[in-house]
Chain A
């Protein structure tokens, strides 16, 4: 079974600075997807960024980028120019790319609470 570990329960960053959230995972599969979801106080889970394991290039979405190290099974999220609206819980998640019944579920880490300091 796959596991996802987020070792930073809480992080804080000054507004406009850069912060990196860590995520490691364990799997025996070679093809999979990794996701970062944001959960603001409203509780709505919002997809931030997605990485496909067979792609070498790190995914980027505006101020959000990832550092994907497949051999190390590491998938960190970098937020540049942090804004007050970035304050939220951030969850790392894994999904197998094998298209079998039941493989499409997400396995989540325990989350990192990000605080933005004005």
Chain B
């Protein structure tokens, strides 16, 4: 069972560069989420999606963009990387209406912006 797969696992960016963090799930979940985890802190929601073509901002969306063209994939885009975006990024998914919406997490992407 693959579950939620995130790529890459690690990445170093220079200030001003852009990149896309990939997230894919094979559980046919309609809800997907992007969180960031700063050192010593809990996870904070960046963006989420309730289905293909439907996304919305979370608590900390500035500097990020998302798209959801398929049920399986939910990429997170950083357009102009800044040091404040150094963090660990987690993608999660859940199936609304089943099992009380347990969110299943990927293994995370550690991003450093230098």
Contacts and interface: CB of A to CB of B under 8 A. Distances in A.
Interface residues on B, range: 20 to 34
Interface stretch (B17-25, B61-69, B76-84, B94-102): B94-102
B56 A102 contact: yes
Interface in A32-60: 33, 35, 37, 42-47, 50, 52
B45 A43 contact: no
Given A42-B107, A43-B88, A111-B42, A52 B48 contact: no
B107 A105 contact: no
Given A33-B101, A50-B100, A104-B101, A43 B43 contact: no
A28 interface: no
Interface of B: 31, 33, 40-45, 48, 50, 56, 58, 88, 90, 92, 94, 96, 100-105, 107-108, 110
Interface of A: 4, 9, 33, 35, 37, 42-47, 50, 52, 91, 93, 95, 99, 101-102, 104-106, 108-111
